[in-house]
Structure 1
Amino acid sequence: MQSEHAIQSAILVALSKNHCTPFRINVGKGKTADGRYFSTGVKPGYPDISGFIWKSGKAFFIEVKTKTGRPRKEQIQFHRMLTSHHIVHGIARSVDDALKIVNEELVGYGFKE
């Protein structure tokens, strides 16, 4: 089974070749020299890949999962917010899923409610 990271990397390349501009926002935690902890990046639940579709100018958000991966509570909340605004988004378990989401401009693909 492919790792989530491998699937994500392949999706980023495929979207770039498919008239989209994808972005991957890195997040992390660290510790300052004086011992304080800090977090960087976006809030929990923000999808792995975001971007826009050239032909329509629409934004998209893609949560990358392995075949057996399940969305976390925060990811489901973000999905619900995107759905309420009819924003293109979904769960991609493969390059084909990601291309389907952006090419068909799907809302909520792969989420089960």
Structure 2
Amino acid sequence: MTAEAKIQNDIRVALSAHGCTIIRTNSGSVKTVDGRMFIAGPPKGWPDLTGFRHSDGQLILVEVKNETGKLRPDQKRFAEFIQRFPVIYGVCRSAEEAIKLIEE
């Protein structure tokens, strides 16, 4: 099974070669010195990759999954929400799927 991190990197390279700027959406949490939790990054369910297509500035959001990966409930809610807007969104399991997504 292919690691999701490898698929993410493959997609980033492929979409960059196809006229897009794509970044990995980082998130995480840490405990501060005074014991509070600090959560960094976008809301739960936000896709793994965020970017835009150079030709028209179209926003691109890609949720990356490996061959057997399934969307979590928060990712499903995000997918339902974002499809109401004129953005490019999709779940991709390979660089080839991501290229098809931006070419549609």
After TM superposition, the score normalised by the length of structure 2 is 0.94
Tell me the alpha carbon deviations over residues 34-86 of structure 1, each in whole angstroms, 9 at most, x when there is no partner.
22211100000000001111112211110000010001111111111111124
Q: Which residue of 2 aligns with 1:110?
A: none
Q: Which residue of 1 aligns with 2:72?
A: 72
Matches within 5 A, 1:1-113: 1-104=1-104
Tell me, in whole angstroms, the C-alpha distance in 2 between the residues paired with 1:76 and 1:10: 23
Tell me, in whole angstroms, the C-alpha distance in 1 between the residues paired with 2:24 and 2:6: 13
Tell me, in whole angstroms, the C-alpha distance in 1 between the residues paired with 2:25 and 2:50: 8
Amino acid at match of 2:102: V
- Greater relative contact order: 1 or 2 (C-alpha under 8 angstroms, separation 6 or more)? 2
Amino acid at match of 1:14: A
Tell me, in whole angstroms, the C-alpha distance in 2 between the residues paired with 1:32 and 1:2: 35
Tell me, in whole angstroms, the C-alpha distance in 2 between the residues paired with 1:36 and 1:89: 34
In the alignment of these two chains, the number of paired residues is 104
Matched-pair identity in % = 39
2:83 partner SS: helix
After TM superposition, the score normalised by the length of structure 1 is 0.87
Report the Cα offset of residue 8 of structure 1.
Answer: 0.4
Structure 1: where are the runs of 5+ without partners? 105-113
